[in-house]
């Protein structure tokens, strides 16, 4: 598999990256840079593509997306 190939990602991961990429493009980021950031975000939250083998599944981390999704006026819960 060539570097940069997305064949090992699930459909959900691909959709998520596409959605994130669109958001970056709306904010004026170049297409190539938007794609790079989108896949970096997907990898950060899900740990990369699908892994084969029993017991290899890990839950997706939503910590960074929650942090970034907060609006300016709200304060963090302690």
pLDDT digits (tens, 9 = 90+) for 19-46: 999 999 999 999 999 999 999 999 888 8
Q: How far apart are CA 56 and CA 52, in angstroms?
A: 7
pLDDT digits (tens, 9 = 90+) for 45-63: 888 887 776 666 677 777 7
Instruction: List the chain domain ranges.
Output: 10-46
pTM for this predicted structure: 0.70
Helix 11-26, helix 31-46: angle, nearest 10: 140
Query: How many C-beta atoms lie closer than 10 Å to residue 65's C-beta?
Result: 14
Nearest Cα neighbor of 63 from 43, 42, 45 is 45
């Amino acid at each position: 598999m060539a570097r940069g190939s997305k064949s090992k990602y699930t459909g959900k991961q691909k959709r998520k990256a596409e959605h994130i990429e669109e958001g970056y493009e709306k904010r004026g980021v170049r297409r190539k840079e938007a794609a790079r950031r989108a896949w970096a975000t997907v990898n950060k939250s899900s740990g990369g593509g699908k892994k084969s083998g029993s017991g290899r599944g890990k839950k997706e981390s939503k910590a960074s997306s929650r942090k970034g999704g907060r609006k300016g006026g709200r304060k963090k819960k302690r």
